[in-house]
Amino acid sequence: MQIIVDIGNTDAVFGLYTQATWQHIWRTPARPDESAASYEKRLRLWLLEANIPLSAVKTTVVSSVVPDLTPTMRAMLGELFSFEPIVVGPGVYPLLPLEILRPHEIGADLVANALAAHTRYRRNCVVVDFGTALTFTTVSGDGRILGVAIAPGLKTAIRSLFSNTAQLPEVPIDVPESALGQNTTHAIQAGVVLGYEGLVRSLLDHIRAELQGDCMAIATGGLSGRIPSLHSAFVDVVPSLTLEGIRLIGETVSATVSKL
C-alpha cells in the first residue's frame, strides 16, 4: 500500500494506491505556513475513515512544486510512518527511463506526467495538465521530453481579472451557452472558458505541426473535465495521471535501491 503526494500551487493531493488501483484520493489546500502536525492530523483522519492502519502503508512518495512546503510534508510523512519518503527531484531523475530537459528547471509534476504518458502509450504524446497553470508537456515515443508550454490556468486567469479590475467579479468555471455574453458573468465565462478551448486546440496544432502530425494528446489535472467540448481533442482524459507518474517514479527508485 502506497501514499502518493502531489503538492501543487493550489492543492496538495494525496492518493492511496493498492491492488493496482487508486482506492482513495484526497485533496487539501497547499499552504506553506501550515504546520506538519496539521497535515498529519488530516492524513490520520482520512486513513481512519478509510479503515487503513498506518502499518499497512509501505511506501510514500512526494512530488512538489512548492519548495517551502516540501520539508514540512517530508517531515510529516517520515514521522507518521517511521520511514523516509521518496522525494521526486533531479537527484532521482537519472534512474528514470526518460531523457529530461533541463532537470533543475522542469517541474516535478511535469516529469511525472511525461513518465506516466510514456509508460502508458510508448509513442509521441503531449500531456495537457489543467491546474493552477495550464501546461503542455511533450514526450517522444523513445522517452525524451521534447519541450513544455505553460499558460495561466483557468482559475488563475479568472482570478487575475477579478484581482486587477475594479468592476469584474470572480465567476465560476462554467461553459456559457453563448459566446455573446449578456451579463458580466457570462461575458467572462465566454472570454476565458471558451477562449481556453481555442488556446488548447491552437497549441496542440502547433505542437503536432512541429512533430509532422505524429502526436497524441492526453488531458489531466483537476480542471480537465470542465470544458466538455475539448474532450474530442484528447485520446484520453486521466485525472490521476500525475499521481500515477509520481508512483512510477517511486517504484523505479525503490527497485534500484533494492538492487544495491
* Average pLDDT, integer, range 185-191: 83
Confidence bin at 194 (pLDDT 50/70/90): confident
Assess whether pLDDT exceeds 80 at residue 212.
yes
Q: Write the CB contacts of 177 (distance below 8 Å, at least 6 apart in sequence).
A: 186
Task: Kindly list the strands in the beta sheet with 133-139, ordered across the sheet, starting from the edge strand earlier in the chain.
Answer: 145-152, 133-139, 125-130, 216-220, 236-237
> What was the pLDDT predicted at 181?
83
Q: Which residue has the higher pLDDT, 184 or 162?
A: 184
- The per-residue DSSP string of 32-76 comes to TTS-HHHHHHHHHHHHHHTT--GGG--EEEEEES-TTTHHHHHHH
Q: Which residue has the cell 489543467?
A: 130
Q: Write the CB contacts of 200 (distance below 8 Å, at least 6 apart in sequence).
A: 128, 134, 227, 230, 233
Assess whether pLDDT exceeds 60 at residue 219.
yes
3-class state of residue 163 by DSSP: helix
Assess whether pLDDT exceeds 60 at residue 210.
yes
> What was the pLDDT predicted at 230?
85
> Residue 78 and residue 81: Cα distance in Å, rounded?
6
**Residue 142: active-site member:** no
* Average pLDDT, integer, range 221-235: 83
pLDDT digits (tens, 9 = 90+) for 46-81: 999 999 999 999 999 999 999 999 999 999 999 999
> What was the pLDDT predicted at 260?
55
Catalytic residue (choose from 11, 68, 109, 214) = 109
Report all structural domains of the chain as residue ranges with CATH numbers, in order of start.
2-87 (3.30.420.40), 99-244 (3.30.420.40)
> What was the pLDDT predicted at 147?
96
Assess whether pLDDT exceeds 90 at residue 44.
yes
pLDDT digits (tens, 9 = 90+) for 156-169: 877 777 666 656 66
